[in-house]
Amino acid sequence: MGCDEEMKCSICERGCVIPAGGIGACGMYGNKEETITELFPDKYLITTPISVETMPMLHFYPGGKFLQISTAGCNFECAGCISTVIVREMDAASKILHKLSPAEVIKKAMDNECCGIVFLMNDPLASFPTFVEVAKTAKKHGLLVGFSSNGYFTCDSLNRISEVLDFANIGVKGLSNQAYRQCGGSTPEPVLRNINALYERGIHVEVSCIHCNHNQEELASLARKISEISREIPLQIMRFIPLESADPLLEPAIRETEELRNILLKHLDYVYVFNSPGTEYLSTFCPDCGEVIFKRDFYGPMGAKLRAAGVGLAEGNICPNCGRKLNFKGSGAIELYREEGFQGGYPFTRALEMIEAILIAIGAEDKKKVLRAWEEVLSGNGLMKLHHDIQNPETYISLIRHFGELIQHAAAAEKLAVYMETKLMVIKQALVNIKKKPRVYYAMGKPNFCLNGERFENQLIEVAGGISENKKISGSGRPGVGITYEVLKSLNPEVIFISSFLSSTVEDFYHEFPEDMLNIDAVKNHRIYTHPGPCWDFGSPRWILGLMHIANVLHPEMFSFDIISEAKMFYREFYNLNFNVLDCNRSFGKPSSKWRWKA
């Protein structure tokens, strides 16, 4: 061969043909001296303990504590990807990524008393040689090994990893060639082939797939395909969250995804609904008798969290009620592990997007400036400080000024900060002598999912002259906890707000209330509200618009902010965009599905 010979990458089925000195589509492999070489070996963005449901994995060592490892990059580029900030915007050469040998990774897992390691958030195919070596070292130390992947392995790469693999979550993009071409692939056939191969090799497999407003038939076909392998393979339906450039109209209602789940049960024994706070379909029910085996809560995008409820598994992984053998591997954890703040899983990507949200609002159009801010926050204890500072309006505004200085956009940051402080002051001064404060409950998705009392949304309620009923509810979760309707009835809130991140329509929300709950003051008096735009109450500086909206609702005798006019001004001044609510999706960072980085 000559020194300018092209080489074909055999790690994933995209099969990039890479010229000498070039790199593949994922940006993680290059052709060096006629060899496909990993460009950033042993470099990690995250190594932190998580519970296995955060992965998410539901039928493997329930509640188990695993060490999450994540790098950067991905072999796919999917519209609305929840990991865009780390797979497309993170620089894999950044000092944020820390170098660890396989032995050091395994030592960290063992020091944290983890029962295994799991690769998630970006695809292990992007750092395949690194992951294989870590997996081999883990097996030598008796640790379990798993990953979340799009499953686009070649037969050769699947053979290499399956020798040391115990469990896998395979994300299917759809069953059409078009679905895969949109992500950079060509056909779903390699993924279906690999799911079957993993199952036949005794590796525990769970399958996930996005539910959009147009792909119900594809999901039904996928369920039938999986059932041909085994009815007992769990299917995780990920209700689509429109992020980045994704069309907001692709997002289905929670009830629509739940209805689809019930249809798919004709083909599979276990079908779960994700990204839908308050749904009961994150829990495991016995396929024969319907007993609740494990009860779970929504735990941020793509995640679930085991609760100390449900009957659990009897010895031999059978239903204690009817004796049905259930498709679980490993016993449940004695003590449930809970991550703190932005630690682990997809909430980490939300943290990066919240930083990006501030930077974009103060005029950052260069990803290098965003990377600089990420590098600062992710050094030392910056992530925990961020989690604290974003929960209070005043400290949030301080963050705006801090990041403005950091990226040399101080004037733009000051302009934004002053605008927000002025609105805050108007509201606070008007409420100085307020005597009657309405009791307010803040939900996400459904009425029975209560946002944690200390969260930012509840601070906005109090700033706007309300009493946060959420602060009376105990329990831990991220971003909240499921409660019973009896608890909600005892609170009897006068006003209910629905989170603008993972929301329901007000009409759907009303329909969730049982008959005996219709006399709650907020329901009886039709005082249930969501915000005019998404992410207007958390995650981006647009919360100032949400605060004005809350003030209007709670004290119409005092406030009459023209919210749409304010939004138009905000978008014009801070995003240089025309405001159109139809272009606004669930992104914290990107203000519109039409917003783009400058080249």
Count CA within 13 A, CB hemisphere, residue 163: 12
Classify strands 35-38 and 29-32 as parallel, antiparallel or unpaired.
Answer: antiparallel
Q: Cβ atoms within 10 A of the Cβ of 465, count?
A: 21
Burial (0-12, 13-18, 19+ Cβ within 10 Å), 311: middle
State the pLDDT at residue 2.
47
Is there a domain that residue 509 lies in? no
Amino acid identity at 310: G
State the pLDDT at residue 556.
97
Is there a domain that residue 352 lies in? yes
In the numeric block, the tokens 């679930």 are attached to 304
Is there a domain that residue 214 lies in? yes
Q: Is the dihedral of CA 416, 418, 421, 426 positive or negative?
A: negative
Burial (0-12, 13-18, 19+ Cβ within 10 Å), 232: middle
Is there a domain that residue 104 lies in? yes
Count CA within 13 A, CB hemisphere, residue 25: 18
Going by C-alpha positions, the residue among 499, 454, 501 that lies closest to residue 341 is 454
250 and 384 fall within a common domain = no
Last residue of some domain: 380, 398, 430? 430
State the pLDDT at residue 151.
98
Q: Is the dihedral of CA 144, 83, 169, 445 positive or negative?
A: positive
What whole-number distance in Å separates Cα of residue 271 and Cα of residue 255? 15
State the pLDDT at residue 3.
54
As given in the structure block, the two tokens for residue 165 are 């693999």
277 and 380 fall within a common domain = no
As given in the structure block, the two tokens for residue 290 are 């319907």
What whole-number distance in Å separates Cα of residue 96 and Cα of residue 110? 23
What whole-number distance in Å separates Cα of residue 509 and Cα of residue 337? 31
As given in the structure block, the two tokens for residue 510 are 């009303």
CA-CA-CA-CA torsion for 532, 535, 541, 546, nearest 10 degrees?
Answer: 40
Q: Could you tell me the residue range of the domain that residue 423 belongs to?
A: 347-430
Three-state DSSP state, 60:
strand
Q: How many distinct structural domains can be found in the chain?
A: 3
State the pLDDT at residue 128.
98
What whole-number distance in Å separates Cα of residue 48 and Cα of residue 112? 9
Backbone angles phi, psi at 501, to 5 degrees: -85, -70
CA-to-CA dists, residue 201 to 159, 205, 329, 331, 566, angstroms: 10, 10, 15, 21, 59
419 and 295 fall within a common domain = no
Last residue of some domain: 430, 461, 483? 430
Under 8 Å between Cβ of 134 and 70: no
Is there a domain that residue 26 lies in? yes
What whole-number distance in Å separates Cα of residue 379 and Cα of residue 387? 14
Under 8 Å between Cβ of 525 and 492: no
Which residues have a Cβ under 8 Å from the Cβ of 31 and sit 6 or more positions away?
A: 6, 7, 18, 19, 20, 21, 22, 23, 37
417 and 291 fall within a common domain = no
As given in the structure block, the two tokens for residue 123 are 């695809």
What whole-number distance in Å separates Cα of residue 37 and Cα of residue 30? 5
143 and 213 fall within a common domain = yes
For 314-370, give the DSSP string: BTTTB-TTT--B---BSPPPSS-----TT-SSTHHHHHHHHHHHHHHHTT---HHHH
23 and 79 fall within a common domain = no
Kindly give the confidence (pLDDT) of every residue in the chain, 599 residues in length, as a single tens digit, with 9 standing for 90 and above: 445 688 999 999 999 999 999 999 999 999 998 899 999 999 999 999 999 999 999 999 999 999 999 999 999 999 889 999 999 999 999 999 999 999 999 999 999 999 999 999 999 999 999 999 999 999 999 999 999 999 999 999 999 999 999 999 999 999 999 999 999 999 999 999 999 999 999 999 999 999 999 999 999 999 999 999 999 999 999 999 999 999 999 999 999 999 999 999 999 999 999 999 999 999 999 999 999 999 999 999 999 999 988 889 999 999 999 999 999 999 888 788 888 888 889 999 999 999 999 999 999 999 999 999 999 999 888 899 999 999 999 999 999 999 999 999 999 999 999 999 999 999 999 999 998 999 999 999 999 999 999 999 999 999 999 999 999 998 777 899 999 999 999 999 999 999 999 878 999 999 999 998 889 999 999 999 999 999 999 999 999 999 999 999 999 999 999 999 999 999 999 999 999 999 999 999 999 999 999 86
Global pTM value:
0.96
The secondary structure of the chain in percent helix, strand, coil, rounded to multiples of 5, reads 35, 15, 45
Is there a domain that residue 586 lies in? no
What whole-number distance in Å separates Cα of residue 168 and Cα of residue 155? 16
Going by C-alpha positions, the residue among 239, 210, 87, 84 that lies closest to residue 587 is 84
199 and 287 fall within a common domain = yes
66 and 136 fall within a common domain = yes
State the pLDDT at residue 599.
67
Bridge partner residues of 477 (DSSP): none
Q: What is the SS3 string spanning 217-235?
A: HHHHHHHHHHHHHCCCCCE
Under 8 Å between Cβ of 489 and 517: yes
Is there a domain that residue 147 lies in? yes
As given in the structure block, the two tokens for residue 305 are 């969290």
Last residue of some domain: 402, 430, 458? 430
28 and 68 fall within a common domain = no
State the pLDDT at residue 60.
98
374 and 302 fall within a common domain = no
114 and 258 fall within a common domain = yes
Is there a domain that residue 380 lies in? yes
287 and 394 fall within a common domain = no
Under 8 Å between Cβ of 459 and 490: no
